[in-house]
Amino acid sequence: MDGITRIESVIYYDVWLDATLFPFPKMKVKVNERSSDFLAVTNLHRRNGIARVTEYTSGIGESAEAALRDLLERFVADGRKHRPTAGYTEEDFEWSDYEDF
């Protein structure tokens, strides 16, 4: 198509989080269809508890649902593994830029 360089298939999900684990009620997930699979990413990212650098989690699958499940399982497992003794605060996370979602 003249003037168009690429069209991407994207699916968005609102994901409600467990309030006993995360300090936010909801995050967004974006799933992109790629040439041979699907990639899922969140708009909420955990900061490393020591270095305070942002750590990103993604999921991959043969379908959008598989990529979403892979991402959410990794996100929750990572959250449980690195949860501070006193629990997370908002400062332990970083949001993606609004225009990315």
DSSP codes joined into one string, 47-75: EPTTT--EE--EEEESSHHHHHHHHHHHH
pLDDT at 8: 85
Q: What are phi and psi of 14, to 5 degrees?
A: -95, 125
Is 29 a domain residue? yes
Is 1 a domain residue? no
Number of domains in the chain: 1
Question: Mean pLDDT for the chain?
Answer: 95
- pLDDT beyond 90 at 101: no
- Looking at the chain, the number of H-run helices and the number of E-run strands are 1, 7
pLDDT at 17: 98
Pairwise CA distance, residues 25 & 62, whole Å: 28
Is 52 a domain residue? yes
Tens digit of pLDDT for each residue in 64-79?
999 999 999 999 999 9
Pick the closest to residue 78 from 45, 51, 53, 101 (CA basis). 45
Is 43 a domain residue? yes
- pLDDT beyond 90 at 100: no
Is 68 a domain residue? yes
Is 99 a domain residue? no
pLDDT at 68: 99
Task: Output the six-digit token pair for 65.
Answer: 């649902």
Is 31 a domain residue? yes
pLDDT at 20: 95
Is 5 a domain residue? no
Tens digit of pLDDT for each residue in 28-53?
999 999 989 999 999 999 999 788 89
Percent of the chain past pLDDT 90, that is, above it, reads 86
Q: What are phi and psi of 32, to 5 degrees?
A: -105, 135
pLDDT at 50: 84
| Residues of the domain holding 29 | 10-92
